[in-house]
Amino acid sequence: MPSYPLTITTPDGKKITLTIDDWLHIRFRHPEVGEDPNALLQIVAKPEELYKNKRGGIHALKRIDEEHFFVVIYELEDREGYIRTAYLINDKRKRRRYRELRSLRQF
């Protein structure tokens, strides 16, 4: 079992942390994400797409198969931030939800 908190650096140099409380929220509310918290950190470190919501949350997305994306949402506070949630989303729902959010970068 990993030792919390876990941290990773984003491509633009921000330190993002996953606390045990946030990991437990994700595991119980979104069990489809699996049992490996490092998978979330890797998506934050190397996202395929990034979006910013109206409240300032950053959505890091990575395609996992032809029809699904893994979404990790984190919030920034200055040069660091915290992972708040993560879940899987299908391609149709992703297109509908993310057409209104501002794209930060697509790889």
User: Do the beta carbons of residue 71 and residue 59 sit within 8 Å?
Assistant: yes
Q: How many folded domains does the chain comprise? A: 1
pLDDT above 90 covers what percent of the chain? 83
Distances (CA, A) of 107 to 1, 71, 80, 103, 104: 32, 15, 22, 11, 10
What span, in angstroms and rounded, lies between the C-alpha atoms of 104 and 58? 9
> At residue 106, does pLDDT exceed 80?
no
CATH number, position 30: 3.30.2310
In a domain, 69, yes or no: yes
In a domain, 10, yes or no: yes
pLDDT, position 105: 62
Q: pLDDT tens, 27-60?
A: 999 999 999 999 999 999 999 999 999 899 999 9
Which domain does 40 fall in, by range? 6-102
In a domain, 1, yes or no: no
Helix (H) or strand (E) holding 42: helix 37-45
Q: How confident is the model at residue 87 (pLDDT cuts 50, 70, 90)?
A: very high
> At residue 102, does pLDDT exceed 80?
no
In a domain, 63, yes or no: yes
In a domain, 107, yes or no: no
In a domain, 13, yes or no: yes
